[in-house]
Amino acid sequence: MTIIVDQILEQLKRVKGPDLAGNIVDLGLVSDIVVRNADVSFSITVPAQIAAQLEPLRAAAEKAALAVAGVDKALVLLTSDRGGQAASPAAAPIRAAPSSAQADALPPPMQRRVTPPSPAPSTKAPVPGIGAIIAVASGKGGVGKSTTSVNIALALQATGLKVGILDADIYGPSMPRLLGLSGRTQSDADRILIPLTGYGLKVMSMGFIVDEDAATAWRGPMVMQALTQMLREVAWGDLDVLIVDMPPGTGDAQLTMAQTVPLAGAVIVSTPQDLALIDARKGLKMFRKVDVPILGIIENMSYFLCPDCGDKQDIFGHGGARAEAERIGVPFLGEVPLVMAIRQLSDSGTPVVASDPDGVQSLIYRDIAGRLWARLAEERMMAGGQG
Protein backbone atom coordinates (compact mmCIF):
# COMPACT_ATOMS: atom_id res chain seq x y z
CA MET A 1 0.00 0.00 0.00
CA THR A 2 1.36 3.43 -0.96
CA ILE A 3 1.51 5.87 1.91
CA ILE A 4 0.58 9.41 0.84
CA VAL A 5 2.12 12.31 2.73
CA ASP A 6 -1.15 14.22 2.56
CA GLN A 7 -2.80 11.44 4.56
CA ILE A 8 -0.14 11.78 7.25
CA LEU A 9 -0.60 15.54 7.36
CA GLU A 10 -4.34 15.16 7.66
CA GLN A 11 -3.92 12.93 10.71
CA LEU A 12 -1.35 15.28 12.23
CA LYS A 13 -3.82 18.13 12.04
CA ARG A 14 -5.56 16.41 14.96
CA VAL A 15 -2.56 17.21 17.18
CA LYS A 16 -2.71 20.61 18.87
CA GLY A 17 0.29 22.91 19.06
CA PRO A 18 2.35 23.58 22.22
CA ASP A 19 -0.01 26.35 23.37
CA LEU A 20 -3.11 24.23 22.51
CA ALA A 21 -4.15 26.82 19.92
CA GLY A 22 -4.21 25.51 16.37
CA ASN A 23 -2.58 22.29 15.16
CA ILE A 24 1.03 21.39 14.48
CA VAL A 25 0.55 21.28 10.70
CA ASP A 26 -1.15 24.64 10.24
CA LEU A 27 1.32 26.19 12.67
CA GLY A 28 4.14 25.05 10.39
CA LEU A 29 5.84 22.93 13.02
CA VAL A 30 6.06 19.70 11.01
CA SER A 31 9.09 19.20 8.78
CA ASP A 32 11.33 16.61 7.15
CA ILE A 33 8.64 14.01 6.46
CA VAL A 34 10.32 10.87 5.15
CA VAL A 35 8.38 7.83 3.96
CA ARG A 36 10.30 4.61 3.46
CA ASN A 37 8.23 1.52 2.75
CA ALA A 38 5.93 1.26 5.81
CA ASP A 39 8.09 3.55 7.97
CA VAL A 40 7.49 7.26 8.52
CA SER A 41 9.69 9.82 10.23
CA PHE A 42 9.36 13.57 10.74
CA SER A 43 10.34 16.43 13.02
CA ILE A 44 8.25 18.81 15.11
CA THR A 45 9.89 22.16 15.80
CA VAL A 46 9.12 23.48 19.29
CA PRO A 47 10.55 26.20 21.56
CA ALA A 48 13.73 24.85 23.16
CA GLN A 49 12.85 26.16 26.61
CA ILE A 50 9.76 23.95 26.88
CA ALA A 51 10.89 20.97 24.78
CA ALA A 52 11.31 18.77 27.85
CA GLN A 53 7.62 19.27 28.69
CA LEU A 54 6.34 18.30 25.26
CA GLU A 55 6.79 14.52 25.27
CA PRO A 56 2.94 14.13 25.27
CA LEU A 57 2.82 16.19 22.06
CA ARG A 58 5.47 13.99 20.44
CA ALA A 59 3.64 10.83 21.54
CA ALA A 60 0.34 12.18 20.19
CA ALA A 61 1.93 12.92 16.82
CA GLU A 62 3.42 9.42 16.69
CA LYS A 63 0.03 7.90 17.47
CA ALA A 64 -1.60 10.04 14.76
CA ALA A 65 0.95 8.95 12.17
CA LEU A 66 0.44 5.29 13.07
CA ALA A 67 -3.27 5.75 12.42
CA VAL A 68 -2.57 6.18 8.70
CA ALA A 69 -3.29 3.01 6.75
CA GLY A 70 -0.08 1.22 5.82
CA VAL A 71 2.15 2.86 8.43
CA ASP A 72 3.85 0.29 10.65
CA LYS A 73 6.50 2.42 12.31
CA ALA A 74 6.76 6.11 13.12
CA LEU A 75 9.77 8.06 14.39
CA VAL A 76 8.96 11.55 15.67
CA LEU A 77 11.66 13.94 16.87
CA LEU A 78 11.26 17.22 18.74
CA THR A 79 13.66 19.84 17.42
CA SER A 80 14.21 23.55 17.90
CA ASP A 81 15.86 26.20 15.79
CA ARG A 82 19.07 27.99 16.76
CA GLY A 83 17.19 30.79 18.44
CA GLY A 84 15.22 28.40 20.60
CA GLN A 85 11.88 29.51 19.12
CA ALA A 86 9.50 27.55 16.96
CA ALA A 87 10.40 27.76 13.31
CA SER A 88 8.17 29.63 10.92
CA PRO A 89 6.35 27.70 8.19
CA ALA A 90 8.83 29.01 5.61
CA ALA A 91 11.73 27.68 7.64
CA ALA A 92 10.19 24.22 8.01
CA PRO A 93 9.25 22.94 4.55
CA ILE A 94 7.42 19.64 4.21
CA ARG A 95 9.26 17.25 1.96
CA ALA A 96 6.83 14.94 0.25
CA ALA A 97 9.41 12.93 -1.68
CA PRO A 98 12.46 11.86 0.29
CA SER A 99 15.84 11.97 -1.38
CA SER A 100 18.15 8.98 -1.14
CA ALA A 101 20.13 10.80 1.55
CA GLN A 102 16.99 11.39 3.61
CA ALA A 103 15.85 7.82 3.17
CA ASP A 104 19.18 6.52 4.42
CA ALA A 105 19.32 9.01 7.27
CA LEU A 106 16.87 7.05 9.39
CA PRO A 107 17.44 3.36 8.69
CA PRO A 108 15.58 0.56 10.47
CA PRO A 109 18.26 -0.05 13.14
CA MET A 110 17.71 3.48 14.50
CA GLN A 111 13.95 3.70 14.08
CA ARG A 112 11.23 3.45 16.73
CA ARG A 113 13.65 4.19 19.52
CA VAL A 114 12.56 6.24 22.47
CA THR A 115 14.32 9.58 22.53
CA PRO A 116 16.33 9.54 25.75
CA PRO A 117 15.73 12.40 28.15
CA SER A 118 18.43 15.06 28.10
CA PRO A 119 20.49 14.61 31.25
CA ALA A 120 21.57 17.47 33.41
CA PRO A 121 25.10 18.70 32.69
CA SER A 122 26.39 16.95 35.83
CA THR A 123 24.84 13.57 34.93
CA LYS A 124 27.43 11.19 33.50
CA ALA A 125 25.98 7.71 33.80
CA PRO A 126 28.59 5.00 33.17
CA VAL A 127 28.32 2.73 30.14
CA PRO A 128 28.08 -0.89 31.38
CA GLY A 129 31.05 -3.05 30.44
CA ILE A 130 33.39 -0.21 29.44
CA GLY A 131 36.32 0.40 31.75
CA ALA A 132 37.40 3.81 30.44
CA ILE A 133 36.21 6.19 27.74
CA ILE A 134 38.87 8.43 26.20
CA ALA A 135 38.04 11.29 23.84
CA VAL A 136 40.47 12.13 21.05
CA ALA A 137 39.71 15.68 19.97
CA SER A 138 41.00 18.59 17.95
CA GLY A 139 40.11 22.24 17.77
CA LYS A 140 39.74 22.07 13.99
CA GLY A 141 39.47 19.55 11.19
CA GLY A 142 42.28 18.36 8.96
CA VAL A 143 44.91 17.70 11.63
CA GLY A 144 44.77 13.90 11.36
CA LYS A 145 42.70 13.27 14.48
CA SER A 146 40.87 10.23 13.10
CA THR A 147 44.05 8.60 11.80
CA THR A 148 45.62 9.21 15.20
CA SER A 149 42.55 7.79 16.97
CA VAL A 150 42.51 4.52 15.06
CA ASN A 151 46.24 3.92 15.37
CA ILE A 152 46.20 4.65 19.11
CA ALA A 153 43.28 2.23 19.49
CA LEU A 154 45.22 -0.47 17.63
CA ALA A 155 48.34 0.27 19.66
CA LEU A 156 46.44 -0.13 22.91
CA GLN A 157 44.95 -3.36 21.64
CA ALA A 158 48.46 -4.63 20.86
CA THR A 159 49.21 -4.47 24.59
CA GLY A 160 46.43 -6.98 25.28
CA LEU A 161 43.60 -4.57 26.04
CA LYS A 162 40.05 -5.02 24.73
CA VAL A 163 39.40 -1.87 22.71
CA GLY A 164 36.47 -0.29 20.88
CA ILE A 165 36.22 2.90 18.88
CA LEU A 166 33.24 5.22 18.49
CA ASP A 167 33.26 7.50 15.48
CA ALA A 168 31.35 10.46 16.93
CA ASP A 169 31.59 12.62 13.80
CA ILE A 170 28.03 12.49 12.50
CA TYR A 171 28.66 14.69 9.47
CA GLY A 172 32.02 13.28 8.35
CA PRO A 173 32.56 9.73 9.68
CA SER A 174 36.02 8.35 8.88
CA MET A 175 36.25 4.95 10.57
CA PRO A 176 34.67 2.88 7.77
CA ARG A 177 37.34 4.10 5.35
CA LEU A 178 40.22 3.97 7.82
CA LEU A 179 39.43 0.39 8.88
CA GLY A 180 38.30 -0.88 5.50
CA LEU A 181 34.81 -1.65 6.80
CA SER A 182 31.58 -1.63 4.80
CA GLY A 183 27.99 -2.69 5.29
CA ARG A 184 25.20 -1.61 7.59
CA THR A 185 24.91 -2.13 11.30
CA GLN A 186 22.12 -4.41 12.45
CA SER A 187 20.19 -4.61 15.70
CA ASP A 188 19.28 -7.54 17.91
CA ALA A 189 15.87 -8.53 19.27
CA ASP A 190 16.10 -5.81 21.92
CA ARG A 191 16.93 -3.19 19.26
CA ILE A 192 20.52 -2.91 20.48
CA LEU A 193 22.93 -2.01 17.68
CA ILE A 194 25.60 -4.56 16.78
CA PRO A 195 29.02 -2.96 16.20
CA LEU A 196 31.18 -4.01 13.29
CA THR A 197 34.67 -5.39 13.91
CA GLY A 198 37.86 -4.26 12.22
CA TYR A 199 41.32 -5.59 13.11
CA GLY A 200 39.89 -6.80 16.41
CA LEU A 201 38.38 -3.42 17.31
CA LYS A 202 34.65 -3.09 17.94
CA VAL A 203 33.56 -0.12 15.87
CA MET A 204 30.42 2.03 15.65
CA SER A 205 30.06 4.86 13.15
CA MET A 206 27.37 6.83 11.38
CA GLY A 207 29.14 5.59 8.25
CA PHE A 208 27.53 2.19 8.92
CA ILE A 209 24.10 3.81 8.95
CA VAL A 210 24.18 6.29 6.05
CA ASP A 211 25.86 6.10 2.65
CA GLU A 212 29.38 7.52 2.43
CA ASP A 213 28.33 10.22 -0.05
CA ALA A 214 25.05 11.07 1.72
CA ALA A 215 24.72 14.55 3.20
CA THR A 216 23.49 14.28 6.79
CA ALA A 217 21.48 17.46 7.41
CA TRP A 218 20.29 16.93 10.96
CA ARG A 219 19.44 19.47 13.63
CA GLY A 220 21.17 19.47 17.01
CA PRO A 221 18.68 17.28 18.92
CA MET A 222 18.77 14.62 16.19
CA VAL A 223 22.56 14.61 16.29
CA MET A 224 22.59 14.17 20.05
CA GLN A 225 20.02 11.38 19.87
CA ALA A 226 22.16 9.56 17.32
CA LEU A 227 25.31 9.98 19.42
CA THR A 228 23.52 8.72 22.52
CA GLN A 229 22.29 5.65 20.65
CA MET A 230 25.71 4.90 19.18
CA LEU A 231 27.25 5.04 22.65
CA ARG A 232 24.64 3.61 25.00
CA GLU A 233 22.53 1.36 22.75
CA VAL A 234 25.36 -0.71 21.30
CA ALA A 235 26.43 -4.25 22.21
CA TRP A 236 29.99 -3.24 23.12
CA GLY A 237 30.47 -6.19 25.47
CA ASP A 238 33.36 -5.90 27.94
CA LEU A 239 35.95 -3.33 26.88
CA ASP A 240 38.98 -2.05 28.76
CA VAL A 241 38.81 1.20 26.83
CA LEU A 242 36.59 2.91 24.28
CA ILE A 243 38.28 5.53 22.11
CA VAL A 244 35.86 8.27 21.00
CA ASP A 245 36.95 9.98 17.79
CA MET A 246 35.31 13.33 18.52
CA PRO A 247 33.96 15.71 15.88
CA PRO A 248 36.39 18.55 15.13
CA GLY A 249 35.77 21.89 16.82
CA THR A 250 34.06 22.91 20.04
CA GLY A 251 30.38 23.21 19.14
CA ASP A 252 27.20 21.95 20.79
CA ALA A 253 27.80 18.30 19.95
CA GLN A 254 31.29 18.31 21.43
CA LEU A 255 30.23 20.20 24.55
CA THR A 256 27.23 17.96 25.16
CA MET A 257 29.35 14.83 24.74
CA ALA A 258 31.87 16.21 27.23
CA GLN A 259 29.10 17.08 29.69
CA THR A 260 27.12 13.84 29.51
CA VAL A 261 29.62 11.08 28.71
CA PRO A 262 31.73 9.75 31.63
CA LEU A 263 35.05 10.55 29.97
CA ALA A 264 38.11 9.25 31.78
CA GLY A 265 40.12 11.89 29.95
CA ALA A 266 40.76 13.67 26.68
CA VAL A 267 43.66 13.77 24.24
CA ILE A 268 44.17 16.80 21.99
CA VAL A 269 45.65 16.36 18.52
CA SER A 270 47.23 19.37 16.83
CA THR A 271 49.69 20.23 14.11
CA PRO A 272 52.65 22.47 14.98
CA GLN A 273 51.57 25.73 13.35
CA ASP A 274 50.08 28.61 15.32
CA LEU A 275 46.62 28.52 13.68
CA ALA A 276 46.07 24.89 14.68
CA LEU A 277 47.36 25.54 18.20
CA ILE A 278 44.94 28.44 18.66
CA ASP A 279 42.04 26.07 17.96
CA ALA A 280 43.59 23.33 20.09
CA ARG A 281 43.57 25.70 23.06
CA LYS A 282 39.81 26.07 22.66
CA GLY A 283 39.39 22.31 22.93
CA LEU A 284 41.57 22.21 26.02
CA LYS A 285 39.52 24.95 27.67
CA MET A 286 36.25 23.21 26.82
CA PHE A 287 37.30 19.94 28.50
CA ARG A 288 38.68 21.74 31.51
CA LYS A 289 35.46 23.70 31.84
CA VAL A 290 33.50 20.46 32.27
CA ASP A 291 36.13 18.84 34.52
CA VAL A 292 37.44 16.28 32.01
CA PRO A 293 41.13 15.50 32.68
CA ILE A 294 43.54 16.34 29.86
CA LEU A 295 45.65 13.24 29.31
CA GLY A 296 48.00 14.99 26.93
CA ILE A 297 48.71 16.60 23.57
CA ILE A 298 49.92 14.88 20.40
CA GLU A 299 51.69 16.78 17.65
CA ASN A 300 50.66 15.24 14.32
CA MET A 301 52.44 16.01 11.02
CA SER A 302 55.24 17.15 13.29
CA TYR A 303 57.83 17.06 10.51
CA PHE A 304 58.23 15.62 7.03
CA LEU A 305 60.60 12.71 6.65
CA CYS A 306 61.86 12.54 3.08
CA PRO A 307 61.47 8.95 1.85
CA ASP A 308 64.38 9.28 -0.60
CA CYS A 309 67.05 11.14 1.34
CA GLY A 310 65.86 10.71 4.93
CA ASP A 311 66.06 14.44 5.62
CA LYS A 312 63.77 15.91 8.25
CA GLN A 313 61.88 19.00 7.09
CA ASP A 314 59.66 21.16 9.32
CA ILE A 315 56.95 21.96 6.77
CA PHE A 316 54.43 23.19 9.35
CA GLY A 317 57.01 24.28 11.87
CA HIS A 318 57.99 21.99 14.69
CA GLY A 319 57.57 21.71 18.44
CA GLY A 320 54.57 24.00 18.77
CA ALA A 321 52.41 21.40 20.50
CA ARG A 322 55.21 20.42 22.88
CA ALA A 323 55.74 24.07 23.80
CA GLU A 324 52.00 24.54 24.32
CA ALA A 325 51.83 21.48 26.57
CA GLU A 326 54.68 22.82 28.68
CA ARG A 327 53.09 26.26 28.81
CA ILE A 328 49.75 25.04 30.16
CA GLY A 329 51.12 22.20 32.25
CA VAL A 330 49.78 19.08 30.51
CA PRO A 331 51.76 16.05 29.30
CA PHE A 332 53.19 15.94 25.80
CA LEU A 333 52.50 12.43 24.54
CA GLY A 334 54.63 12.49 21.41
CA GLU A 335 55.02 13.59 17.83
CA VAL A 336 53.99 11.78 14.65
CA PRO A 337 55.84 12.66 11.45
CA LEU A 338 54.25 13.41 8.10
CA VAL A 339 55.00 10.18 6.27
CA MET A 340 53.54 9.05 2.97
CA ALA A 341 53.03 5.48 4.22
CA ILE A 342 50.68 6.57 7.02
CA ARG A 343 48.46 8.41 4.54
CA GLN A 344 48.52 5.64 1.95
CA LEU A 345 47.75 2.88 4.43
CA SER A 346 44.97 4.94 6.02
CA ASP A 347 43.34 5.57 2.65
CA SER A 348 43.51 1.87 1.81
CA GLY A 349 41.82 0.84 5.07
CA THR A 350 44.94 -0.84 6.46
CA PRO A 351 46.20 1.37 9.34
CA VAL A 352 49.93 1.36 9.81
CA VAL A 353 49.83 -0.16 13.32
CA ALA A 354 47.88 -3.14 11.95
CA SER A 355 49.65 -3.57 8.62
CA ASP A 356 53.23 -2.89 9.78
CA PRO A 357 53.18 -3.52 13.54
CA ASP A 358 56.96 -3.57 13.93
CA GLY A 359 57.67 -0.61 11.65
CA VAL A 360 59.08 2.72 12.81
CA GLN A 361 55.75 4.54 12.54
CA SER A 362 53.90 1.85 14.46
CA LEU A 363 56.45 2.05 17.24
CA ILE A 364 55.77 5.79 17.49
CA TYR A 365 52.05 5.17 17.96
CA ARG A 366 52.71 2.37 20.44
CA ASP A 367 54.98 4.65 22.45
CA ILE A 368 52.27 7.34 22.50
CA ALA A 369 49.65 4.78 23.53
CA GLY A 370 51.88 3.59 26.37
CA ARG A 371 52.31 7.12 27.68
CA LEU A 372 48.57 7.70 27.35
CA TRP A 373 47.70 4.57 29.33
CA ALA A 374 50.22 5.46 32.04
CA ARG A 375 48.77 8.96 32.22
CA LEU A 376 45.26 7.53 32.61
CA ALA A 377 46.48 5.36 35.49
CA GLU A 378 47.92 8.47 37.17
CA GLU A 379 44.60 10.30 36.83
CA ARG A 380 42.72 7.36 38.32
CA MET A 381 45.11 7.18 41.26
CA MET A 382 44.72 10.90 41.93
CA ALA A 383 40.93 10.65 41.67
CA GLY A 384 40.96 7.70 44.06
CA GLY A 385 43.15 9.60 46.51
CA GLN A 386 40.81 12.59 46.41
CA GLY A 387 37.85 10.31 47.10
- Which range, 54-58, 160-164, 207-211, 229-233, has the best average confidence (pLDDT)? 160-164
Q: Are residues 366 and 221 both part of a single domain?
A: yes
pLDDT (average), residues 144-166 = 96
Q: Within a domain: residue 157?
A: yes
Residues 222 and 83 in one domain: no
Closest CA to 339 of 378, 305, 289: 305
Predicted local distance difference test score (pLDDT) of residue 100: 39
In a domain, 112, yes or no: no
Same domain, 262 and 186: yes
C-alpha to C-alpha distance for 279 and 88, rounded to whole angstroms: 35
Residue 202 lies in a domain: yes
The answer on 175 and 303 residing in a single domain is: yes
> Is residue 79 domain-shared with residue 31, that is, in the same domain?
yes
Alpha-carbon gap, residue 183 to 220, rounded angstroms:
26
User: What pLDDT is stored for residue 276 in this prediction?
Assistant: 57
Instruction: For residues 235-242, give the mean pLDDT.
Output: 96
CA distance 250 to 258: 10
Examine residue 81 and state whether it is found in any structural domain, yes or no: yes
* Pair (323, 275) in one structural domain: yes
pLDDT of residue 21: 73
Task: Tell me, yes or no, whether 195 and 320 share the same domain.
Answer: yes
Q: Pick from 75, 98, 121: which residue ends a domain?
A: 98
Range of the domain at 177: 133-386
pLDDT of residue 128: 92
Question: Average pLDDT of 179-188?
Answer: 87
Picking from 176, 164, 34, the residue whose alpha carbon sits closest to that of residue 110 is 34
Give the CATH number, domain containing residue 360: 3.40.50.300
Q: Are residues 79 and 152 in the same domain?
A: no
User: Do residues 81 and 229 share a domain?
Assistant: no
Looking up residue 87, the CATH number of its domain turns out to be 3.30.300.130
User: For the segment 81-122, what is each residue's pLDDT rounded down to a tens digit?
Assistant: 544 443 333 233 333 333 334 334 444 455 444 344 444 444
Q: How far apart are CA 369 and CA 154, in angstroms?
A: 9
As for how many domains the chain has, the answer is 2
- Percent of the chain surpassing pLDDT 70: 79
Residue 221 has pLDDT above 80, yes or no: no
The answer to whether residue 117 is domain-embedded is no
**Domain match, 94 and 231 both:** no
Say which amino acid occupies 88.
S
Domain contains 284: yes
Q: Name 42's Cβ contacts closer than 8 Å, sequence gap at least 6.
A: 8, 30, 31, 32, 33, 34, 61, 65, 75, 76, 77
Q: Are strands 73-79 and 133-137 parallel, antiparallel or unpaired?
A: unpaired
Q: Do 141 and 243 belong to one domain? A: yes
Tell me what pLDDT residue 275 has. 57
**291 three-state secondary structure:** coil
